[in-house]
Structure 1
Amino acid sequence: MENAEPARRFVPRLEAFLVRLGHIVLPLLALCAWACAASRPASTSSSPETPVRPPTAAVPVEEAAPVLTPPGLRLPPSVRPVRQTVTLELDPRRESFSGTTDIEIALPQATSEVWLHGEALSVRDAAFIVAGSRVRTSTLPIGDLLVFLPREPVGPGTVTLRVAFTGRALAREGSGIYREEDAGRWYTMTQFQPLAARRAFPCFDEPSFKIPWRLTLRVREEDGAYANAPVEAETHGPDGWKTVRFQTTPPLPSYLVAFAVGPFQSVDAGVAGHHRVPVRMLVPHGRTAEAAWAAQSTPRLLERLEAWFGTPYPYAKLDVLALPGTQGGAMEHPGLITFGAPLMLGPVEGDSLWRQRYFAQTQAHELAHQWFGNLVTPAWWDDLWLNESFADWLAYKAMTQWKPEWRGDVRRVEARGDALVEDRLVSARSIRQPIEAPGDIHAAFDGITYNKGAAVLAMFESWVGPDAFQEGVRRYLDAHARGTATTADFFDALSSATGKDVASAFSSFLDQPGVPRVAMALECPKDAPPRLALEQRRYLPLGSPGAHDVPMRWQVPVCVRYAVKGREGRACTLLSEPTGTLELEGATACPDWVHPNVEGRGYYHAVLRGDALERLTRHGGKGLSVAERRVLLDDAQALVASGDLAVARALALASRLMRPEDPDLVMGAAALVASVRDDFVPRTSMANHARFVQSLFGAQARRLGLLPRPDEGDDLRMLRPRLVWMVTQAGEDAHLRAEARKLALRWLEDRRSLPMDSAHAVLGAAAAGGDAALHLRLLEALRTTTERRERDLLLTALGGFHDAALARASLALLLVPEVDAREALPILFRQLEALPTRAVAFDFLREHFEALRERLPRDIAPWLLSTGGFFCDAEHRKQFASFFEPHASAFEGGERILAQTLERVDLCIAQREALRPGLERFLRRY
């Protein structure tokens, strides 16, 4: 699953860039990444300590009512499903649905109660079928569980539980069975990961219960029906309904079952892979032309992944379905991968290169899941990293093989940087964390699992060697195909293939949070080879509640690159103790420079002591790869935040390492500059700060302009929205703002006048200095368009006005019945991100919190608890905590979200106080 995290995540997109600038999710590309947090159902399961006595009516009257003790977080492992058949009647126009299911269950002994998952379902009838006979059965709902109570004990052996039930498919939701309207047509879709299959049918809703599924859908004649497996038979009735029966699936956990119903249209993408698997794009009615890029890229990526795994794609078909509405992200269901339409579909002309690359990166991730997660499934959610970290890590490989010019190595380093920022929090979770409550499951879908997990995999792949690592992965998949596995199983396969005991070193990064800070001092004794004295401890930023003297130790693969009189060498070690030594045995003299992290493979922050950083960057880092330069820029951000590097030196480093002709280095430098938040800059120095930004980026932004040129490369087209944002926002460039206003007004008259990437840059720049007249024009355009991409552009721009009255008028759209609150959410986050409108947005949020909470799906509403992370002062921190602390427990995982939000504010306050004097001195020269 591609998860929002909240950015992160792992792909070269503008939202992730803004997160790296020190901000929270800000979807200037309006790719609807809001639903990347895609499954946060509220759990109401009972406490395992509380016995429940059902009412007398729940059991036959002649029996005594039993005292029931619900299971805890997990169902009893001794009662296991064997296979399940589900029949559903679905009409996307209706909220209610009905169904029946037969579940074959293996019982080790005679039992009088069987527990399954079932939430918000009404059971109409239930019975156990034993040797062809029906055993009358009562049902009691308890939270998100159903307990089935047969009149007489059933088992041992295999029995069938037959249940008839009804449920609700809610509109504007994003999990369970839900519905969306698009261009006047209704669609029904599913998103079950992690805990929402139980809202569709009674089931064993845990990943360890991996069974074959047989699905039948009864739908209206005019609707199409799609599921994981190919259609086996279709029959038509005289009543305007048809019955579509699908082939039995290979063993799947419940969260991977998927189906969709509605007037979808199909785009043939040919066949792919060793088995010549048919590939189709399924899109909302009338949008087939927009699937061209998805149809072109998907087969190519599948073939590259097949080659890497050395085994064919393991399913009978590959449908890729665009979910109508504002739903974002993607999900890896076998045979039926789903994407939010804004990410999967692009305009026939003027498509966004950002969107195309983001889709391809995400599709590589979802296709990698067909082996990691689908073919072999983690036995429990504590090993979610075996799904998501692997899919992220392998996606970079597939992308680099397919499109090397897209610089997958740099994208990998960017994602590593995102993880390092998230991992600096004391409240950060570990990659592999015990699961003790439903909130722990939801929390696992974050940047630590995705970005940090992928970075750690890249580090250990480099340590053991790519070929040996690949062989270990193949052994792991071969040994556990069609079943489940654990981290220990993976370690066994990897150790067998590499001849190294990887478990302890790997586990030091999996099972504890935080980032190693590795200090390096170059020593050049006369009678021995040059060496690096190494020292490790946990990285902690200024203001962190963590104590530096709390012992934390990693086994860190450290690899450095060095040069002696023009000749380069490389040296590696495994730093297992608090201190160590790395001899540079190939060096014939004291090195001219040492780079502390070869190709950015190591997951650590490096502190170069003495003059080592100056020597490394003296000539602009000549000889370093782009990835190695980006690592230095990331480390500089972190070391400023921890007080290990003066802010003036860091900002000078941005200038040294940047090369105007290289867009990735321009953006790396911009990220370092923007990590010094506006909150850190004294009011008297704001003009100086703007001039400093202009000195670095202004001339290039004006040369690049707001419109693409016919001979312009893709990299410059992708750089434009980032650079324009930097120069018009932080640099307050009046010339570009004025030009943006002219182009914005032209776009309002003719939507074809700007390609998508330029339109984002133009409207955002125009809004920053926009007046009431422009605001009114944008509002009028919003009222008259239903086209989703145009609405995304308009709503994002409406969130960018800095005038307080106009900001309030934009925020009001979040409450307008005709506006979907999900699509308008960027207004709130854009205004919280901007210093001039932050207080206005916060006041609006407090005043209308309950209304917003009700208008947002259960998956997205918890994000409101993260809004305080934009603040950087004690008074607003106090106000935020006072207002939201009473609400946190009402959200799944809310206490953790709130704790991390408040910690971010505390860190910002501490850094502001520490950095302001040095920053003010630095800015005086501008």
Structure 2
Amino acid sequence: MRFGHLGAFIGLVLLAGCASPTATAQPPPLPRATPAPTGPSEEAQRVLTPPGLRLDPRVRPTRQAVMLELDPRQEAFRGTVDIELSLPEPTHALWLHGEELTVTASAFQVAQARVPTDAMPVGEDLLVFVPREPVGPGSVTLHVEFTGHARDKEDSGVFREQEDGRWYAMTQFQATYARRAFPSFDEPTFKIPFELALRVRGGDEAFSNTPVRERRADAEGWTTVRFQPTPPLPTYLVAFAVGPFDVVDAGRAGQRQVPVRMLVPHGRSAEARWAADVTGPLLQELETWFGTPYPYAKLDVAALPGQQGGAMEHPGLVTFGAQLMLGAEAQDTPWRQRTFAETQAHELAHQWFGNLVTPDWWDDLWLNESFADWLAFKVVARWRPEWSGELRRVESRGSAMRADQLVSARCIRQPITTPGDIHSAFDAITYGKGAAVLAMFEAWVGEEPFQRGVRAYLSEHARGTATTADFFHALSTVAGRDVGPTFSTFLDQPGVPLVTVELQCPRGAPPRLALEQRRYLPLGSKGVEGAALTWRVPLCVRYGVGATEGRACTLLEGATGALELTEAKGCPDWVHPNADARGYYHAMLRGDGLEKLAARGGARLSVAERLVLLDDARALLGNGELDVGQALGLVARLGTGDATLVSSAAGVVDSLRADFLSAAMQPHRARFVRGLFGARARALGFVSKPGESEDVRQSRPTLLWMAANVGADPALRAEARRLTLRWLEDRSALPPQDADTVLLTAAATGDAALHQRMRDAVRGASTAHERELLFLALGGFRDATLARASLELMLAPEVDTREALPPILLGQLTEPTTRPQAFAFLREHFDTLRERLPRDLSTWLLTTGGFFCDVAHRQQVADFFGPRAPDFAGGERALAQTLERVDLCIAQREALRPGLERFLTRH
């Protein structure tokens, strides 16, 4: 029962309990506290004022014991908590977080006395406990008995999944979902030890953050598993998993030789080989970097069954979606393996950043996620140099900059004032921009001092919480200068600096670079050009004078500045404005600086430095500073060789969307793309060959997609159909890493017969990976009738919408020909689709309108989603960014179309 305001529940006492979970072997009841017979006193009523976003920081929990009775086959569960508290004064009402929980009994224990207590729900996620007489000051214990819900096909709180007829129960508490599992102080600032016990059915295994302390079976067929107390943790890092998991021993790892295990759904042990092989070495790499051992007693890594995605860094029990963590030998791909390793490096970095030291509040989430992303790139680059981890950092930087160009973009360190702000903080700004800014300041401070500063920060705040100010203090102490004011200009304001660089070679004086900075604003932006946003930008350049190369750095602190190239032995032939691709800024070379750099310096640049130039070209094309011919000429010069460069070049070309052109110009666009990518694509072919380099394998999907689909290459399309028909007969006919590109290409021009073959294959698919491939292909059909039939699959009773909706809906929204029908279908069935998705993931539906590039559909998006956005966590920000993306596309289409058409008429 939920109440919207205080007056609705004053004087009410919730005494009725829920039925116990139905089971063949019913457990004995948990002990019950005696409920109180009357309502709260007048004094208690007077003080029953709900807290705002945060609970009263003066009331401090010191320890919490949790006992849950859980059968994954049943939705209902029940439990008890005992929370030890330190109260600063006599207390008439205690506020805790609790969502979808029914309190059946509660009482305060004060020394040897039990104080009867009334419990009432308030709003969506609060519980208030009112003792019959004030309790405190000093130490007291609150005992609560309650029931809750483990939803199926969810992904937060306590949730359940079924795989091959077996049921599993799992948790995901970040950011604010522990309150769905048990009453608690569900904020990161409250970091305390937890003692967890799980009462589970015989045949089910139970796992949590710490090793098992005691396991005791009873006559009713249940087993109580008690775990060792945790070190101090915030609620969002508490985790458990229950079900018929298989356990794969991965040996021992790290300086303390902690046991490492892979926990996998029943019968899937063989699929965990890669995860088991790479986890220990990655842990050791991180221990080396941090200079301290892994800080927990064990390391279990659990593959969660069903449609769970991503991963979570719980200490001692890291969790992954099974499709990311597990790979059957015959179907596994290098991309899946690499993605797991990179993600695992991120989650293991959290064991120090986020777990050992936790941000005090969500506005410092970057102290978790930015650091984990940044360090994962470094660790993987050291562990597997051939994977070019440094380039992944630059790729991530480019993606973050495209999110950061929006006026509605948030800051890395955004003030948190509403629950929606918490959910909005998990985005490309916190992760990608934060990691890129850390890389820039690591270079500015120096790699070795930066590492010592990080170690000092962790040492000082171990087992506790910390803030950005604490991190700045540690780093400044080691660096010997106050880094906070410079660092903060990137943390506390949104946007990307655009630095203009002009080479000047005055007679009788060293060459110099005249510098200017302003906020980068794309065409159509509602940002104010003259707004006084400036950054303290650490800026390094490389230059060449004949065969000699040089490097120079400065800190650009104001709107203008200069950098003298005092070591240059003449006027440079070329200047690269972002040495080593470390700077978080777009750069624009004045005059003929870009042409000289591409012609004379291109061969001397690292892949990362070429990659950052392509990112800049895309940005300068988007704000009108670079014309189409210049941008695409740079793509032709720099976008070859390395797979990352090929992908970035394709991104520049694809940013000139098909929507920008009339139907008559589409063949010209296709011919240009075939000319740019076709020869290399045809030479590679769709199918991997023995002995190919990693780089060739990574280049293939981009080259084939651009040539066959954007470039409409008829021969490649025919080859894709032939290969697809073979694959539908024999799944081993294609290497696993090639199947998605082949099937998608065949679907783009597929007919009704091929569509039916794929639908039949979905029904007979034996693995989640196979269904994923087929749904992806079914989202690629462009014939209107077939596209509609694919959309209807998302509503089919036998189809899991979580599995089908992203590839089908997004696949159609990305294509101009199928976009209007897909969006109309979404609006028609919005409520049904939302109900079939996890409630805490459905906010992203508000972003689907961002693919449009015309005024009429923009209005449809605003009219449909506008009234609905407040119902989603972070919905208003998501919709604002969606509409801004449409506005930018409309403006860029109008501004760039004339030049684009002039360029393409030559092809």
Same fold (TM over 0.5): yes
The code of the aligned residue for 2:886 comes to V
- Counterpart of 1:270? 251
- Partner in structure 2 of residue 133 of structure 1: 113
Rounded Cα–Cα distance in structure 2 between residues aligned with 1:728 and 1:475: 53
Question: Could you tell me how far 1:341 is from its partner in structure 2?
Answer: 0.7
| Residue in 1 that maps onto 2:474 | 493
- Structure 1 residue aligned with 2:718, among 734, 738, 748? 738
Q: Distance in 1 between matches of 2:338 and 2:69?
A: 38
Amino acid at match of 2:140: V
SS of alignment partner, residue 532 of structure 2: coil
Residues 52 and 69, structure 1, Cα contact 8 Å, conserved in 2: no
Identify the match of residue 684 of structure 1 among 664, 668, 680: 664
Q: CA RMSD in A?
A: 1.3
**What displacement does 1:620 show?**
7.0
In the TM superposition, residue 346 of structure 1 has moved relative to its aligned partner by: 0.9
8 A Cα contact 1:350 1:754, kept in partner: no
Measure how far apart 1:710 and its partner are: 1.1
The structure 1 residue matched to 2:503, chosen from 510, 513, 522, is 522
* 2: CA distance, partners of 1:723 / 1:119: 49
Question: Which position in structure 2 is the counterpart of 1:812?
Answer: 792
Task: Tell me the alpha carbon deviations over residues 328-379 of structure 1, each in whole angstroms, 9 at most, x when there is no partner.
Answer: 0000000000001111111212421111111111100000000000000000
Preserved CA contact (<8 Å) 1:593 1:612 = yes
Could you tell me which runs of 5 or more consecutive residues in structure 2 were left unpaired when the two chains were aligned: 15-35
Cα deviation, residue 662, structure 1:
2.5
1:600 paired to 2:581: yes
User: Is the Cα–Cα contact under 8 Å of residues 330 and 337 in structure 1 kept in the other structure?
Assistant: yes
The match for 1:112 is 92
1:329 to 284, 287, 310: 310
Aligned counterparts of 2:729 and 2:248: Cα–Cα separation in 1? 32
Map Cα deviations across residues 367-396 of structure 1 (whole Å, 9 max, x no partner). Answer: 000000000000000000000000000000
Match status 1:756 vs 2:755: no
Q: Distance in 2 between matches of 1:577 and 1:46?
A: 50
Partner of residue 38, structure 2: 61
Deviations 1:183-206 (A, max 9, x none): 111100000000000000000000
Aligned match of 2:673 in 690, 693, 696? 693
**Contact in 2 for aligned 1:46/1:70 (Cα 8 Å):** no
Q: For residues 461-493 of structure 1, give each alpha carbon's deviation from its aligned partner in whole angstroms, at most 9, with x where no partner exists.
A: 000100000000000000000000000000000
Give 1:22's aligned residue. Answer: none
Task: Look up the match of 1:39.
Answer: none
Q: Distance in 2 between matches of 1:371 and 1:809?
A: 49
Alignment TM-score, normalising by the size of structure 2: 0.96
Tell me: CA distance 1:81–1:807, structure 2 relative to 1, closer, same or farther (3 Å): same
SS in 2 for 1:307: helix
Moved more, 65-74 or 649-658: 65-74
Contact 1:291–1:345 under 8 Å retained in 2: yes
Q: Which residue of 1 aligns with 2:760?
A: 780
Which residue of the partner structure matches residue 17 of structure 2? none
**SS of 1:540 mapped into structure 2:** coil
What's the counterpart of residue 577 of structure 1?
558
Q: Provide Cα deviations, 1:122-159, integer angstroms capped at 9, x if missing partner.
A: 00110011112211100010020111001111111111
TM-score (norm 1): 0.94
Q: Is the 8 A contact 1:267 1:281 kept in 2?
A: yes
Tell me which residue corresponds to 1:208.
189
Are 1:588 and 2:544 counterparts? no
Q: Indicate the larger mover: 119-128 or 682-691.
A: 682-691
**Residue type of the alignment partner of 1:173:** E
Does residue 231 of structure 2 align to residue 254 of structure 1? no
| 1:62/1:671 CA distance change after superposition, 3 Å | closer
- Contact 1:682-1:920 at 8 Å conserved across structures: no
Deviations along 1:269-323, one digit per CA (max 9) or x if unpaired, are: 1111000011111111111111111111111110000000000000000000001
Instruction: State whether residues 800 and 827 of structure 1, in contact with CA within 8 Å, keep that contact through their aligned partners in structure 2.
Output: yes
- Per-residue CA deviation, residues 523-556 of structure 1 (Å, 9 max, x unaligned), is 0011211010000010000000111011101000
Q: CA deviation at 1:619?
A: 4.3
Output the amino acid matched with 2:38. Answer: V
Confirm whether residue 302 of structure 1 aligns to residue 302 of structure 2: no
Give the corresponding residue for 1:924: 905
Q: Which residue is 1:426 aligned to?
A: 407
Counterpart of 2:306 in 1: which secondary structure? coil
The one of 99, 113, 119 equivalent to 2:79 is 99
Q: Is the 8 A contact 1:718 1:757 kept in 2?
A: no
SS at match of 1:745: helix
Give SS of 1:435's match.
coil
Classify the secondary structure of the residue corresponding to 1:631.
Answer: helix
Q: Given that residues 430 and 511 in structure 1 are in contact (C-alpha distance below 8 angstroms), is that contact kept between their aligned partners in structure 2?
A: yes
Counterpart code for 1:676: L
Q: Distance in 2 between matches of 1:550 and 1:45?
A: 45
- Among 778, 793, 801, the residue aligned to 1:798: 778
**Counterpart amino acid of 1:123?**
V
Separation (CA, whole Å) in 2 of partners of 1:744 and 1:590: 57
Cα shift at 1:209: 0.3
1:412-454 per-residue CA deviation (whole Å, 9 max, x = no partner) reads: 0000000000000000000001110000000000000000000
- Would the aligned equivalents of 2:3 and 2:121 in 1 still touch at CA under 8 Å? no
Deviations 1:22-77 (A, max 9, x none): xxxxxxxxxxxxxxxxxxxxx99968xx6775134467537545131100000000
Q: Which amino acid in structure 2 is aligned with residue 879 of structure 1? A: Q
Is 1:630 matched up with 2:611? yes
1: CA distance, partners of 2:39 / 2:539: 72
Contact 1:52 1:70 in 2 (8 A): no
Q: Which has the higher contact order (CA 8 A, sep 6+)?
A: 1
- Report the equivalent of 2:453: 472
Question: Aligned to 2:198, what secondary structure does the other structure show?
Answer: strand
User: 1:248 offset after TM fit, Å?
Assistant: 0.4
Q: Secondary structure at the match of 2:770?
A: helix
1:72 counterpart = 2:52: yes
Distance 1:63 1:511 in 2: 45
- In the TM superposition, what are the counterparts of 1:274-423 in structure 2 within 5 Å? 274-423=255-404
Please give the alpha-carbon distance, in whole angstroms, between the structure 1 residues aligned to 2:871 and 2:9. Answer: 26
Partners of 2:733 and 2:40 in 1: CA distance: 76
Counterpart in the other structure of 2:25 = none
Question: For residues 45 and 410 of structure 1, do their structure 2 counterparts lie closer, same or farther at Cα, with a shift above 3 Å needed?
Answer: farther
State the identity %.
64
Distance in 1 separating the partners of 2:207 and 2:635: 51
* Matched residue type, 2:464: G
Residue identity matched to 2:711? G
- 2:211 aligns to what? 230
Q: How many residues align?
A: 881
SS in 2 for 1:817: coil
Q: Secondary structure at the match of 2:56?
A: coil
- The correspondence for 1:671, drawn from 648, 651, 665, is 651
Residue type of the alignment partner of 1:897: A
* Contact 1:116 1:146 (C-alpha < 8 Å) held by counterparts: yes
Q: 1:238 offset after TM fit, Å?
A: 1.9
Q: Give 1:664 deviation, angstroms.
A: 2.3
Partners of 1:639 and 1:81 in 2: how far apart? 53
* Closer/same/farther in 2, CA of residues 215 and 56 from structure 1, 3 Å limit: closer
